[in-house]
Amino acid sequence: MVQGVNYQPLTPITFLERSARVFPDRTAVVDGETRLSYREFLDRARRLAAGLQELGIKPGDRVAFLALNGEPLLAAHYAVPMSGGVLVAMNTRLARHEILHILRETEASLLFVDSSLVSDLTCFPTECRVITLEELRDGGRSGEIGKTGSDPVFPISPDRPPSLNSEDDLISLNYTSGTTGYLKGVMYRHRSAYLNALGNAVEVELTGATRYLWTLPMFHCHGWCYTWAITAVGGTHVCLPRPLPVEVFRLIQTERITHLCAAPTVLIDLAQYAASNQIKLSAPLTIMTGGAAPTPQVIHDIEAVGAKVIHLYGLTETYGPSTICQWQPRWDAEQLEQRALLKARQGVGDLMAEQRVVRPDMTDVHADGGEIGELVIRGNTVMKGYYRDPEATAKAFEGGWFHTGDLAVLHSDGYVEIKDRAKHIIISGGEKISTLEVERVISSHPAVLEVAVVPSPHDRWGEVPKAFVVLKPQTQLIAEDLFNHCRERLAAFKCPRRIEFVNDLPKTSTGKIQKYILKEMEWKRANSGTV
C-alpha cells in the first residue's frame, strides 16, 4: 500500500516523536543521576540512529544489546529501528554459548555490551563489532558513538524520518527465555509492536501522569512492550538495573511510582521485604504481573501491602500480554482472599487478540471450568514467526491459531484459567495431575515462600508429583506436615509423594522457574538409584 493522506505505516517510533513534540520539557527518562526530557530523549535516540548508520547499519541489519535496564537500552528501542536496523535485546543471564548462538544465528553486525556483564570482550564472533556501553555513553576510546564532552559525535537533522518501508518489517528479534532448554528466535513487526503498546496503555490506564518503574527486564518482550507504551502516553520511565526490594520501595517513594510490571517471583520478594520492614504504600500503585502463573497467595500478599494487581498472560510469541484478567465491578464486594482467587485466572483476550480453549481436533471445550484443552490465540499481536524456522512456525500456527502449549479450562463467564504447560502435566497411574494446582495448594501454607512441582519416576505409577520447596526465613516445616496440608485440600493421588526443601529454585532472568532442570535432575537421580 502506498503511503499518503490516509495511510502511514504503524511504528512505535512515532510515539517518541509525538511525545517530544507535545511534551518537550516533560521528564521522559530517569536513570540514576541522568534525567532526560522528551526533547532530549528524542535527540539522544536520533543521534544514536545516525551513529549506527555511520557504522554501516543498513535496513534489516541486526544490532544486538547485552545490557541491564537503563537509558542506553531504552534509547535503542527507538534508535535501532530509526536506523533501519533490527534490535536483538538479549537476556543478560543466558550462558555464554547461548549468547554466541544468538549472535551467530542473527548474524548481528554490532553488539553493544555492558562490560560489567562480560569479563572477556574478545569471546564474541569476529564478524560482530563490539562496543561497550561506556563507549556509547561517553565516546570512550573509539569515540564512534554518543557524545564527547557536550558535543555530539553525529549531528542529525531534526526532520529526518525513520527508515521504514513497511509496517510489516521486522523491528526486533526476541529469543525465548529458555524454560524448555531450547532458545527460539521470535520475529516482531513494527505494526504489532505499535498495537500491543497501545493496547497496554488502554488496558492498565496509562496516562501522561504515569511514572513507570522498570522492575521488568527491557530485554523480555521489550518489557512486554512497555518500552513503547509509556512513551506513547508521554509518561516517565524510571530505570532500575535489578529489582532489589530495597531499591524498588525507595524509588516507589522518591519517584512517586504509579505503575510497574513484575513476575510473581519478584512479587514474592517484595511482599516478604514489605512484611519484614512493616511497609504499607501511601499512594496508589498498580502492578501488572505475569510471565508465570501467580498463585492466589502471591496476589493476596502484595495487595495486602496496598498495591492493586492486574494479572496479564502472554508469551514471547504474543509480544508479552495477550490476555488480561479484566476486573468486574461486582467482584469489589468479595473478600480479599476471594478477589485473589479471581485474579489468579488468566482472563479474557485483550484488545488486540482473541483466544479459545480447544480440543486436539480444534473444537471448543465446554465452558464448565472442568474440561481441559489447549489455549490458542490469534490476532494482530501474534509473532510473524520463528526466525529461520518455517517448520516450527507452521506447527505453531496449525489450524489458523497460535498454539501456546498451555492447558486451560474455560469458565462459564468466559474467563480462562491455565492448569499447566502441556509438557508439565504429570500422568500418574493414568491420572493427569496439574503441577500448578499442586503448587497453589502448597504455596498456601504460611511457611512456604516458593515451590515447584515436577514429575518424579515411580516403579508402580510411572511418575508421581515431587515438590521442591523454599521456606520463608525463620520458619520451619517438615515434609509430613506439608503433605497433610495438601491431603486436606487435594485428592490423594495429586499430593506430592516426595518433598525436598531447597534454598532456591533455578529461574530465568524473567522469573520463570526452570522446571526442566529440576525434572532432569530428578530423573538422573532415578537412573543412579538415589531417588
CB atoms within 10 A of CB 93: 15
The whole-number average pLDDT for the span 469-494 is 92
Domain 426-528 has CATH 3.40.50.1950: no
Residue 327, judged by CB atoms within 10 A of its CB (0-12, 13-18, 19+), counts as middle
Provide the percentage of residues in the chain whose pLDDT is more than 70. Answer: 92
Name residue 409's beta-bridge partners. 417
Alpha carbon of residue 157 to chain centroid: 35
What's the fold here for domain 243-422? Answer: Rossmann fold (3.40.50)
Backbone angles phi, psi at 371, to 5 degrees: -75, 130
pLDDT for position 155: 46
Q: What share of the chain is helix, strand, coil (3-state, %, to 5)?
A: 35, 25, 40
- Domain locations in the chain as residue ranges: 13-20+34-188, 243-422, 426-528
- CATH classification code of 13-20+34-188: 3.40.50.12780
Say how far apart CA 284 and CA 288 lie, in whole Å: 13
CB atoms within 10 A of CB 409: 22
* Angle subtended at Cα 115 by Cα 254 and Cα 179, rounded to the nearest 5 degrees: 80
Full-model pTM: 0.84
Confidence tier at 95 by pLDDT (50, 70, 90): confident
Q: Are 100 and 124 in contact (CB under 8 A)?
A: yes
pLDDT for position 124: 86
Q: Are 405 and 207 in contact (CB under 8 A)?
A: no
CB atoms within 10 A of CB 388: 11
Enter the C-alpha cell of residue 129: 563489532
pLDDT for position 285: 98
Confidence tier at 136 by pLDDT (50, 70, 90): confident
DSSP assignments along 293-330, one per residue: PPPHHHHHHHHTTT-EEEEEEEEGGGTEEEEE----GG
Rank 182-186, 389-393, 423-427 by mean pLDDT and report only the highest: 389-393
pLDDT for position 148: 34
pLDDT at 145 over 70: no
Mean pLDDT score of the chain: 89
pLDDT at 144 over 50: no
pLDDT for position 262: 93
Lowest mean pLDDT among 57-61, 146-150, 229-233, 485-489: 146-150
Domains 13-20+34-188 and 243-422 share a fold: yes
Could you tell me which of 291, 327, 323, 282 has the C-alpha nearest to residue 215? 291
